[in-house]
C-alpha cells in the first residue's frame, strides 16, 4: 500500500513536470503571436475588404511593400519588390487603375505615412472660370457636367443656374435598395452642411419614377433632402431632360444607381462615386476645401 502510494505520487509529479515544461515552451510562441496580431487601422474611405487586406495581408507581407489609397475608396498594395521605389510605384499604379482621383500612400513597409492634413485637398487642382469654359462636356473628372433641365418647387431651372456653388448631384430612385440604404448618411451630411452654413447645394434627382413617388418615400422616412424633378414619369422613362430640349439616356450619366457627382463652383466634375457611399461625413472636409478654393 505504501509503495503504491509512493509510485502514484511520483507519477503525479512527473505529469506536473511535463505540463509545466509544455506551458513554458508554448508561452513564448503565444507571446509572439499576440505581438503579431494586427491592430485596427483607420484607413479613410475604403471598404471592409480593404481594411482586412491591410491587417491580414499587407502587414505580414515581405519587403519591399507599399499601400496606396484614393478619395472614394480605391486602394491597392504591392509587396515583395526589389526596392522601396518599385513597391511605391506599383501600389500607386494599381490604385490609379481603379479611379480618376489622385492616389496617395497610406503605408510604406511597416510605417504609416498617410498625411491626414493633405487628404481633403486631393480634389484639387480646381479649374478657374476660363479653364472651365473650355472644358469638354461629360461626366469624367475635369468635364463640365451636362446642363440638365430640372424642376424645383414647380419652377423650371437649369443645372447651370447653380453655378457659383459647389453641388452634390445625386441620382437615385425609391425602387433602388442600395439608394435607400445610403440616404440616411447623406441626410446626416446635408444637416451638417446646413447647421454649419457651408454653401453646398445638395441636388437629389430621381430616375425611372415620378417625382411625387420619390418625394412620398422621402417624407415617409422623415428625410428632408432637397429633391429636384428630372421629369421622369415612370419606370419606363429612362431619359434625362437637358436644358437645350434634348434628352440623354440616364445610363450615359450613371451606369448604376445610386451615382453621385460633386461639381465645383464652375460646374466642373471634381469627384464622382458609383454605388452607395458608406459614410458621407468622410467627405465633409473635401467639400469645405472645394467651397473655399473652387469657382474662381
pLDDT band at residue 12 under the 50/70/90 scheme: very low
The string of pLDDT tens digits covering residues 198-245 is 999 999 999 999 999 999 999 999 999 999 999 999 999 999 999 999
How far is the C-alpha of 126 from the C-alpha of 137, rounded, in Å? 16
Sign of CA dihedral 95, 97, 98, 100: positive
Please name each of the domains of the chain with its CATH number: 48-120 (no CATH), 126-293 (3.40.30.10)
* Range list of β-strands (E), the chain: 66-69, 75-78, 104-108, 111-112, 149-152, 155-158, 166-172, 200-206, 227-228, 239-241, 247-249, 259-263, 269-274
CA 200/CA 237 separation, integer angstroms: 29
3-state secondary structure of 172: strand
Residue 221 vs residues 173, 193, 225: alpha-carbon distances, Å: 14, 20, 11
Stretch 4-18: mean pLDDT: 42
Residue 8 is predicted with a pLDDT of 42
For the beta carbon of residue 246, count every other beta carbon within 10 angstroms.
11
Residue 229, CA distances (Å) to 55, 57, 180, 233 in order: 45, 46, 18, 10
User: Percent of the chain scored above 70 by pLDDT?
Assistant: 86
Q: What percent of the chain has pLDDT over 90?
A: 84
Q: What is the phi/psi pair of residue 83, to 5°? A: -155, 160
* 4-32: burial string, b at 16+ Cβ within 10 Å, e else: eeeeeeeeeeeeeeeeeeeeeeeeeeeee
d(CA 296, CA 61): 46
Closest CA to 66 of 49, 80, 78: 78
How high is the pLDDT of residue 102?
97
Task: Tell me the three cell numbers of residue 226.
Answer: 432637397
- pLDDT of res. 39: 56
CA 135, 144, 158, 192 dihedral sign is: negative
The per-residue pLDDT for 130 is 96
β-pairing verdict for 104-108 and 75-78:
unpaired
pLDDT digits (tens, 9 = 90+) for 84-119: 999 999 999 999 999 999 999 999 999 999 999 999
Residue 261 CA, distance from chain mean position: 13
Q: Residue 197: which region, alpha, beta or left (left: phi > 0; alpha: psi -120 to 50)?
A: left
pLDDT band at 24 (very low <50, low <70, confident <90, very high): very low
Sign of CA dihedral 6, 8, 11, 12: negative
Question: Which of 12-21, 140-149, 230-239, 240-249 is predicted least confidently?
Answer: 12-21
pLDDT score recorded for residue 182: 96
Sign of CA dihedral 250, 251, 255, 257: positive
Instruction: Give pLDDT, residue 41.
Output: 85
The per-residue pLDDT of the chain, averaged, comes to 89
Amino acid at each position: 500500500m505504501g509503495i503504491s502510494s509512493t509510485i502514484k505520487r511520483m507519477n503525479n509529479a512527473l505529469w506536473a513536470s511535463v505540463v509545466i515544461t509544455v506551458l513554458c515552451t508554448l508561452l513564448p510562441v503565444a507571446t509572439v503571436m499576440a505581438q503579431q496580431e494586427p491592430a485596427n487601422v483607420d484607413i479613410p474611405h475604403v471598404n471592409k475588404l480593404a481594411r482586412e487586406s491591410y491587417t491580414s495581408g499587407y502587414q505580414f507581407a515581405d519587403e519591399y511593400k507599399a499601400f496606396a489609397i484614393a478619395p472614394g475608396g480605391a486602394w491597392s498594395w504591392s509587396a515583395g519588390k526589389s526596392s522601396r521605389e518599385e513597391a511605391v510605384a506599383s501600389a500607386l499604379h494599381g490604385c490609379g487603375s481603379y479611379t480618376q482621383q489622385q492616389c496617395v500612400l497610406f503605408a510604406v513597409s511597416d510605417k504609416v505615412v498617410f498625411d491626414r492634413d493633405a487628404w481633403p485637398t486631393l480634389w484639387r487642382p480646381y479649374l478657374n472660370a476660363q479653364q472651365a469654359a473650355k472644358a469638354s462636356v461629360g461626366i469624367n473628372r475635369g468635364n463640365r457636367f451636362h446642363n440638365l433641365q430640372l424642376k424645383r418647387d414647380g419652377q423650371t431651372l437649369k443645372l447651370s443656374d447653380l453655378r457659383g456653388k459647389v453641388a452634390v448631384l445625386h441620382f437615385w430612385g425609391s425602387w433602388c435598395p442600395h439608394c435607400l440604404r445610403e440616404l440616411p448618411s447623406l441626410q446626416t451630411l446635408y444637416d451638417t452642411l446646413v447647421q454649419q452654413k457651408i454653401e453646398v447645394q445638395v441636388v437629389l434627382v430621381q430616375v425611372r419614377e415620378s417625382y411625387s413617388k420619390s418625394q412620398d418615400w422621402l417624407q415617409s422616412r422623415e428625410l428632408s433632402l432637397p429633391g429636384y424633378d428630372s421629369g421622369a414619369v415612370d419606370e419606363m422613362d429612362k431619359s434625362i431632360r437637358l436644358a437645350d430640349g434634348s434628352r440623354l439616356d440616364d445610363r450615359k450619366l450613371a451606369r448604376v444607381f445610386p451615382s453621385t457627382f460633386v461639381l465645383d463652383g464652375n460646374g466642373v466634375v471634381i469627384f464622382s462615386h458609383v454605388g452607395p457611399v458608406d459614410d458621407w461625413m468622410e467627405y465633409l472636409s473635401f467639400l469645405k476645401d472645394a467651397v473655399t478654393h473652387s469657382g474662381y
